[in-house]
Amino acid sequence: MPSPQHDPPSWTRSSVGSAGAVEAEPTAAQVIAGLRATSEGGDDLVQLLSPEGQRVHHPDFTLDVGAEELKSLYRDMTLVRRVDREANALQRQGQLGIWVPLLGQEAAQIGAGRAMAPQDMAFPSYREHGIAWCRGVDPTELLGIFRGTDHGSWDPRATGLHLYTIVIGNQCLNAAGYAMGQRFEGKVGDSATGEATICFFGDGATSQGDVHESFVWAAVYDAPVVFFCQNNQWAVSEPTERQSRVPLYRRAQGYGFPGIRVDGNDVLATLAVTRWALDECRAGNGPVLIEAYTYRMDAHTTSDDATRYRLAEELEAWKLKDPIERLRVHLVREGVAEQDFFDGVAAESDELAARLRECCEAMPAPGPERIFSQVYAEPSPAVQAQHEELLAYQAGFADAGTPDGER
């Protein structure tokens, strides 16, 4: 590992300002330094596909991928981006209360998601629509969370995808515990059939106590868990330098397990590194931390206005590293795919988007029973009584001829 002196300037001591007001407008030098700081991954970045779409050799990580796999990686990324854009539009049109975009993080998520084996378990935060896709959760199943009809409708056990977790960092301890269970039940030790867990969180989340504690637990119990941090450079308005003085992947060293920084806009590198990490876990050599170095190309959520805190130039610089475009160029350059393949994926995207929209608009509002159902595993007479009270109250309006729900 290179010494700290080799780091880009952003990783040196952050300059928490001198006393007094800061300048509103950054200088040109600050802009350039900022761009460099956020768009360069440093010497340790694992990359297998350059932003120009060329395969790159890496001494430690190789990936044998055939034409079909390359094409299906492209298809997955394109479809989840389309889902993301459609859901964003649905929010704009009032069909969803909020949407949390994954734009720009398709390679990080499809790479990681496709590295998982069916028996593995994933713990997402709230932006992992690409992971959900890879776990076979239909995109329409994500909508309820954002439309306000449920808190996640898929079956976590059946899909190997835990519910989305919004409280930053909570899921990391849950994932560590789940992985401890995999070990306690003897599911670790064989890299073909063993089980592993993968946990997703952001750069901001790395500051939370829960995340640090999960590193400790996973290390102490040799838990088969891959901590997959998508460093998309921003935690709402705060750049990653607000969270750490060292690159995030180096945190792992202090806890006693490997940390790797991968180009999160390179689906091949992400797939290779995550596959390796999960295999390590399956074989009993976990945990592993992966920092996927990527970029949140849209606002934090549809409620956020990113122009208040970051420069348009930064986005322009990252567009040159677009994860989908780079694979597309590779497919064309290597003659792996012809135009009809791309046309086919585009048509499939359109169909998926149309289906998503249709399902969204048709989603029924839940009735009052949703408020009271499943609060406890054992029936609660108190909750039951309140449910009946509400029904009786609402029936009073029905008797008075007021249409239900329009009081």
Partner 1 sequence: MAAPTTDRTESGSPGAQTVSMAKALNAGLRAAMEADGKVIVMGEDVGKLGGVFRITDGLQKDFGEQRVLDTPLAESGIIGTAIGLALRDFRPVCEIQFDGFVFPGFDQIVSQLAKLHYRSQGKLPMRVVVRIPFGGGIGAVEHHSESPESLFAHVAGLKVVSCSNAADAYWMLQQAIASDDPVIFFEPKRRYWEKSELDTSATPQPLHTSRIARPGSTATLAAYGPMVRTALDAAAAAEQDGHDLEVIDLRTLSPLDLAPVFDSVRRTGRLICVSEAPGECSVTAEVTARVQQECFYSLEAPVLRVTGFDTPYPPSKCEEQYLPDLDRVLDAVDRVLAH
Ligand X SMILES: Cc1ncc(C[n+]2csc(CCOP(=O)(O)OP(=O)(O)O)c2C)c(N)n1
The residue whose two tokens read 């609060």 is: 375
Q: Which two tokens stand for residue 310?
A: 């970051």
Q: Which two tokens stand for residue 246?
A: 């060292």
* Residue 324: CB minimum distance to partner 1, A: 27
Among 2, 3, 13, 17, binds partner 1 (CB under 8 A): 17
Considering CB under 8 A, how many residues would be counted as binding partner 1?
Answer: 56
Cα 281 from Cα 388, distance rounded (Å): 50
Segment interacting with Mg ion (CB under 5 A) among 27-35, 59-67, 187-195, 232-240: 232-240
Among 236, 320, 375, 395, binds ligand X (CB under 6 A): 236
Binding mask 93-132 for partner 1 (x = CB under 8 A): ----xx---------------------------x------
Among 51, 139, 160, 169, binds partner 1 (CB under 8 A): 169
Site for partner 1 in 361-380 (CB under 8 A): 365-366, 368, 370-372, 375
Residue with smaller CB distance to ligand X, 306 or 360: 306
Report DSSP state, residue 4: G
Cα 275 from Cα 46, distance rounded (Å): 14
Sequence-distant (6+) residues with CB within 8 A of 91 are 97, 98, 99, 146, 302
Site for partner 1 in 36-55 (CB under 8 A): none
The Cβ of residue 354 has, within 10 Å, a number of other Cβ atoms equal to 11
Among 183, 296, 326, 330, binds ligand X (CB under 6 A): 296
Query: Per rule CB under 5 A, is residue 124 in the interface with Mg ion?
Result: no
Cα 269 from Cα 44, distance rounded (Å): 13
In 240-280 the beta strands, taken as DSSP E runs, fall at 259-263
Segment interacting with partner 1 (CB under 8 A) among 34-42, 202-210, 219-227, 270-278: 202-210
Residue with smaller CB distance to ligand X, 51 or 239: 239
Cα 199 from Cα 359, distance rounded (Å): 29
Report DSSP state, residue 307: G
Query: Per rule CB under 8 A, is residue 287 in the interface with partner 1?
Result: no
